A and B are shown apart, each in its own frame.
Chain A
Amino acid sequence: MAHEEDALEHERASWKPSPGLAVAVPDPVKNPGLPPHRERVTDKDPAAMKRAVRTVYTLFYLSLAGSIWAIAAYMLFPIESGRIVDIRNNNLFIGLGIALALLAIGIGAIHWSKAVMSDKEYIEPRHATRGRDTTREGAIQAFRDANEESGFGRRTAIRGSLIAALVASVLPGITLFRGLAPENSPENPIAGDPVALLSHTMWKKGERLAHDPSGEPIRAADLTLGSAVHVIPESLADLSHHDGYLEQKAKAIVLLMRLLPEQLPAEYNKLDWSYDGIVAYSKVCTHVGCPVALYEQQTHHLLCPCHQSQFDVSRSAAVIFGPAARPLPQLPITIDDEGYLIAQSDFTEPVGPSFWERH
């Protein structure tokens, strides 16, 4: 036994790890060793030790009290009434109890280990990780034997077919992902075409502009100078949440603003897309799609709250500051026979941020 140990030590001593890219330093830093052991107050003074012990068990009893209080608080502050103040008290007092219970255990345990437990320093030398040469050869031999006996290396027909089967077994899982993407259907011919979906909204010729969220149509005469109205398509109300109400609303939201007609200079604006100073712009920022609706009625600036892009409504919502790459798309509007505002068509460009078919 002793002889074997000696042989092992000898093997380990004679083996040197490869230095790799490391550079040998001629004067390596000397290991300073451990600093001299310093006695704590609790080691020198028995009264201090007593106090520390008392503190630790007081903390643990405090934790116990916290747990009991948390249970009691659940009964003392019921939430059955549903009133906000009751829910608030319930959360607060149960939370305080649990916080005290857990925190006191943690602080007590740390204080115990720091002040009461022995803090003498010990050096535990690290074992060498390399096994003996015979052990290493034995392990390699085991693999060789297994290969020989199973015929994995020799019987190529079995090996090849197993690899093919394993690879094929993953494919059904990949196929299932197709079910996550919608497909074209007779009712929705573009459902499977993301580019077409991103390029079209609910707006179409004759679609009335309506108030968000009430769905009441808007007459041009309702808007006074400086008005800003949040707009949805009137027929959005016909959609249920199962038919993509939120998806359609997210693309179709529009901000309607009334300026003086002379505040929309012809060289910057498509005047036949507005009606008597009333303009409608997509509310979806062309940067990353936040709703742009911070309208300043004197400067005619629209501010996006997410990244501070600014658009000038008096100049076709041109970008005047910030990271947005394009002006906000304008919805061409006019009025119908009854004086209600209607869209002339869909947006003539995709709304919102860039995507792979649009830059």
Chain B
Amino acid sequence: MSSQTPRQKTGRRSKWAAAALIGIGLLVTGGIYAGASAAMAATEPTSASTTLTVEDGKKLFQANCATCHGLDLAGTADGPSLYGVGELAVEFQMSTGRMPLQMQGPQAPQKPAQFTEDQILAIAKWVQSTSPGPEFPAEETLDGKGDVANGAELFRVNCAMCHNVAAAGGALTEGKYAPALTSTSALHMYAAMVTGPQNMPVFNNMTLTTDEKRDIISALLWLQENESPGGFSLGSLGPVSEGLFIWIFGIGSLIGLTVWITAKSN
């Protein structure tokens, strides 16, 4: 191997330079992407108390939301009515940044929240007082101390087909997707189940009881807090990422070894 001979000072670049450059480039790109994704993660509101009044919420709604949803929540040609969606839907949609909608598309993407928590809760209060809907859950439901095993089974039956068995998310039809739940807060998990945002089905408290929801939330929080038992999870995307890895690195190193074995020694 080349390390056996002292490198000559010929001014030529080492033959490893190209490989090293590509490696550094990949690492930097991946690092920036990972950092940016983490920065997009949702903020976590913990309580439903706000210093703003219902009246402030009404003004905020009429200034920022009424263009599409109508002054009285009746909806317009551009946006659905908000009758009966309740405070929880408002909190979920606005604090995950899905609302206000940036542009029409197959799915409203998650982005940094555009309002402070106080403003969001004020709007939520006004929407709830005008047309009641699903409310904030009891603290206990979100505490993550439920039955993790039962929650994981319920997750596999009801949620995993879209959100992936390791909650890594997955593709739906025509550009829609089920988001990863790897950084979702307990409140937003609960809110998504109860309100059924966008194309997600509704799992109300009759079809999944609050105890069952508590178990599911506990299982998801457990997944968030514990590292993958099987080593590198490679995004938990199953055969796609694992196959790609073994094709590139596994077969690549086999080819490299074969070339080395058959090459003449210098």
Contacts and interface: CB of A to CB of B under 8 A. Distances in A.
Interface of A: 38, 40-42, 48, 51-52, 55, 84, 87-88, 92, 110-111, 114-115, 119, 211-213, 218-219, 221-230, 257, 291, 293-299, 301, 303, 305, 308, 310, 321
Contacts of A299: 173-174, 199
Given A222-B206, A293-B161, 19 more contacts: A41-B266, A48-B5, A115-B265, A119-B265, A212-B157, A213-B157, A224-B204, A224-B206, A225-B202, A226-B201, A227-B203, A227-B204, A230-B158, A294-B162, A294-B172, A296-B176, A296-B199, A298-B199, A321-B173
Contacts of B161: 291, 293-294, 305
Interface of B: 1, 4-5, 153-154, 157-158, 161-162, 170, 172-174, 176, 178, 196, 198-204, 206-207, 226, 229-231, 260-261, 264-266
Question: Which 10 interchain pairs have the tightest Cβ spacing?
Answer: A228-B201, A222-B206, A296-B199, A226-B202, A114-B265, A84-B229, A293-B161, A226-B196, A297-B201, A224-B204
Question: Which of B1, B153, B201, B260 gathers most chain A CB within 10 Å?
Answer: B201
23 contacts: A41-B4, A41-B266, A48-B5, A51-B4, A88-B231, A92-B231, A119-B265, A221-B206, A223-B206, A223-B207, A224-B204, A226-B201, A227-B207, A228-B201, A228-B202, A291-B161, A294-B161, A294-B178, A295-B201, A297-B196, A301-B173, A305-B161, A308-B173
A303 B172 contact: yes
A143 B19 CA distance: 66
Nearest to B106: A299
Given A297-B199, A305-B170, A222 B229 contact: no
Q: Taking chain A's interface residues, is the majority helix, strand, or loop, or is none over half, making it mixed?
A: mixed
Main secondary structure of the interface of B (DSSP, over half): loop
Contacts of B203: 227-228
Given A293-B161, A303-B172, A42 B196 contact: no
Given A40-B265, A222-B207, A294-B162, A310 B173 contact: yes
B57 to A, nearest CB: 25
Contacts of B4: 41, 48, 51-52, 55
Contacts of B5: 41, 48
B225 to A, nearest CB: 12
B172 A211 contact: no
B204 A296 contact: no
Contacts, number: 92
Nearest to A41: B266
A74 to B, nearest CB: 18
A38 B229 CA distance: 52
Pick from A88, A222, A296 the residue with the most CB of B within 10 Å.
Answer: A296
B40 to A, nearest CB: 24
Nearest to B212: A214
B229 A87 contact: yes
A139 to B, nearest CB: 41
Contact of B172 (A223, A230, A296): A296
A305 B163 CA distance: 11
A9 B204 CA distance: 93
A219 B229 CA distance: 40
A227 B194 CA distance: 10
Nearest to A297: B201
Contacts of B198: 298
Given A41-B5, A305-B161, A227 B173 contact: no
Contacts of A293: 161
A84 to B, nearest CB: 4
Nearest to B178: A294
B201 A213 contact: no
A102 B266 CA distance: 25
Contacts of A212: 157
B229 A88 contact: yes
Nearest to B5: A41
B265 to A, nearest CB: 4
A227 B157 contact: no
Given A230-B157, A299-B173, A224 B202 contact: yes
Contacts of B178: 294
A252 B205 CA distance: 25
Contacts of B206: 219, 221-224
B204 A110 contact: no
A211 B198 CA distance: 24
A92 B157 CA distance: 32
A228 B158 CA distance: 9
B254 to A, nearest CB: 12
A303 B202 contact: no
A114 B264 CA distance: 7
A341 to B, nearest CB: 12
B265 A257 contact: no
A42 B207 CA distance: 77
Contacts of A295: 201
A303 B157 CA distance: 16
A297 B204 CA distance: 14
A297 B157 contact: no
A213 B153 contact: yes
Contacts of A115: 265
B238 to A, nearest CB: 10
A312 to B, nearest CB: 11
B1 to A, nearest CB: 8
Nearest to A226: B202
Contacts of A218: 207
Contacts of A298: 198-199
Contact of B173 (A52, A291, A303): A303
Contacts of A52: 4
Nearest to A230: B157
